[in-house]
Amino acid sequence: MTLGNEFGPAGAALWESVTGDLELSPTELATLRHACSLEDRAAELEAAFADDPRYLVKGSMGQPVTNGLLSEIRQTRQAIVQALARIKVQADESTGRPSLSVLVSEGA
In the chain, domain spans: 9-88
Whether the predicted model's global pTM rises above the 0.85 cut: no
Residue 64 three-state SS: strand
Q: What's the Rg (C-alpha) of the chain?
A: 16
Report residue 102's pLDDT band, with 50, 70 and 90 as the boundaries.
Answer: very low
pLDDT tens digit sequence for 19-47: 886 788 899 999 999 999 999 999 999 99
Burial grade of 77 (CB within 10 A; 0-12, 13-18, 19 or more): buried
pLDDT in tens, 51-98: 999 999 999 999 999 999 999 999 999 999 999 888 877 666 666 556
**Helix, strand, coil percentages in the chain from 3-state DSSP, rounded to 5:** 50, 15, 35
The angle that helices 9-19 and 26-51 make with each other, rounded to 10 degrees, is 140
What backbone torsions phi and psi does residue 49 show, to the nearest 5 degrees? Answer: -70, -35
pLDDT at 104: 39
